[in-house]
Chains A and B, each alone.
Chain A
Amino acid sequence: MNSSDQGSVPPGRPETLKAVPVRHPGRWVGAAVVALLAAMLIHALTTNPQFQWDVVGKYIFDSSILHGLGVTLELTFLSMLIGVSGGVILAIMRLSPNPVLSSTAWFYIWVFRGTPVLVQLLFWNFLGTLWANISIGIPFGPAFWSQPTNEAIPLFVAALLGLGLNEAAYMAEIVRGGIQSVPLGQTEAAHALGMSQFNTMRRIILPQAMRVIIPPTGNETISMLKTTSLVSSIALEELLRAGQNIYSRTFQTIPLLIVVSIWYLLMTSILTVVQYYIERHYARGANRVLPPTPLQRLRRLFAGRPVPPAKDDVVPGLEGGGHV
């Protein structure tokens, strides 16, 4: 640009601006401090022989650790299954106009949310001292089937009941919030079309409530994965207990706790990715264009330019100009 036309708007397309960017000295100082701290941490982790990284490497794929991991995953999955389905039922009960149903659900949530999950686990474990036998039959009448409680409820089932029934109380509140977030007009529209209560809930309300329900449910699942470590206290051999069994023998406490932590961290990371994709699925209709997946983001980063959204994500009729 020459100095003669200073102040006047140059004709045609404006040129790309060439300006000296603002300097951020604070950022550099901050980065240096963090880098120093990180170096100190790595130094401490690598030079302190007490970490015994070779022991970590030796036990990370140990068969009893892997078995414990399997039990942990199984417990997480089944407890969440009980929790989510129980939560949906409890939430619908709480919103029911029937006062018996809604107060029963309220009472359940009050009890199971109001006592520690560890206490509940111990309760289920010691159920045999409360009732020696469990039987199925006519209420107050003869029994068709009877078994000692400790056989009917083995350790794994006790753990499952403790975790799952407790989770149901939390999920009930999450689901209730989701259902109540759907506007009343949706129910009215479905009813006006002749849809039944059940179909309205299943086809119209719950799918929309999912968008509100999924993120906290993901948090609950990640939290559950870690809460399963509590069942080590009733001697069920899950991931933590498997580690404890080894270090009680070898006294290599820290390395085994690191082994266990690595597995927990890996599992929660995977769950985080799964949660992202489920959330994306239920965002249909709420977002005009779905956000790119991490894979698409990665490709964009390497290509250095925006990647067009995947074909099925393009809003039909909106590709050109987006006139509505």
Chain B
Amino acid sequence: MTDLTKPQPQDAAGVPMVEAQGVRKSFGLVEVLKGIDLEVKKGEVFVLVGPSGSGKSTFLRCINHLEKINGGLLSVDGELVGYQMRGGRLHELKDREVAQKRRDIGMVFQHFNLFPHMTAIENVIEAPVQVKGESKAAARERGMALLERVGLADKAKNYPSQLSGGQQQRVAIARALAMKPKLMLFDEPTSALDPELVGDVLDVMRGLAEEGMTMVVVTHEMGFAREVGDALVFMDGGVVVESGNPREVLSNPQHERTRAFLSKVL
């Protein structure tokens, strides 16, 4: 099933998958991101942790331009997000061009956001058929393989309301993978789930990581971060407080705020 995702070779010298330089974002008068610098390498599982309100979800949503940044530079695979440099000046991209770029970036939401009027398989094939113009038959075949991969082939004809939270989230992952993304964004994918259902979703994510998918994960699952993560960033108050290897940061935090946060969640 390796053809379902694109394994990226670890290439330290290549262009980073996500690069942020001094990214700022305000909602009205409230500045949520106060200059974020970070770099996500290709094939890396990049974990964002921090207290709620620290701006980690907002930053994630900036990566696929669901939120527009107010300052700094943010690029995905070497291309600016939402803007284009032409003749030495920044130009905003048209809606159509933004949509074009989003095809390559999969996103999984805290509350799943499956389309409730479509069955699981219809959710999965919607974007390949409508956006990429794939034939229904081909998309369905690939969609079934993806549902099989997340362990839900037998639920293909169920509507989201007939699925548990964990099953809905796994369908949502299959839906994002159906676009063959080169980058996957996870926004607290297990926060809305019953504790006993979290494991199934994390298993699917672990499998994706093993295949070399580049992933940016906002999560409170420190076990997952330690085990699967290649890099970790601790954010608080709209700034990056501490970053490094997840195992080192989690076991030996350098900063007082990191220590205070980890003592509460670990």
Contacts and interface: CB of A to CB of B under 8 A. Distances in A.
B116 interface: yes
A193 B102 contact: yes
Report the contact-size class of chain A (Cβ under 8 Å from the partner): 20 to 34
Nearest to A318: B162
Contacts of B95: 196-197
Interface string B200-240: 00000000000000000000000000000000000000000
Given A185-B109, A203-B126, A193 B158 contact: no
Of B100, B127, B154, B160, the most chain A CB neighbours within 10 A belong to: B127
Given A193-B127, A193-B176, A195-B131, A188 B157 contact: no
B64 interface: yes
A194 B162 contact: no
Interface string A284-324: 11111000000000000000000000000001111000001
A199 B116 contact: no
B99 A194 contact: yes
A1 B107 CA distance: 65
Nearest to A202: B130
A288 B119 CA distance: 12
B60 to A, nearest CB: 11
Contacts of A195: 99, 126-127, 130-131
Nearest to A197: B95
Contacts of B103: 193-194
Contacts of A208: 115-117
A128 interface: no
Contacts of A132: none
Contact of A324 (B117, B118, B167): B167
B150 to A, nearest CB: 15
Contacts of A284: 117, 159
Contact of B163 (A183, A203, A324): A324
A89 interface: no
Contacts of B47: none
Contacts of B160: 285
Nearest to A210: B117
Contacts of B114: 189
Contacts of A191: 66, 99, 102
Contacts of A324: 162-164, 167
B140 interface: no
Contacts of B159: 284-285, 288, 315
Of A188, A189, A324, the most chain B CB neighbours within 10 A belong to: A189
Given A186-B113, A194-B101, A195-B126, 14 more contacts: A189-B109, A191-B102, A192-B105, A192-B176, A193-B102, A193-B126, A193-B127, A193-B131, A193-B179, A203-B126, A208-B115, A285-B161, A315-B158, A324-B163
26 contacts: A185-B113, A188-B109, A189-B109, A191-B66, A191-B102, A192-B107, A193-B126, A193-B127, A193-B175, A193-B179, A194-B100, A194-B101, A195-B99, A196-B131, A204-B115, A208-B115, A282-B117, A285-B118, A285-B159, A285-B160, A286-B161, A315-B158, A316-B158, A317-B158, A318-B162, A324-B164
Task: Return the 8 tightest CB-CB contacts between A and B, nearest first.
Answer: A194-B103, A189-B113, A193-B127, A192-B107, A285-B159, A185-B113, A194-B102, A285-B117
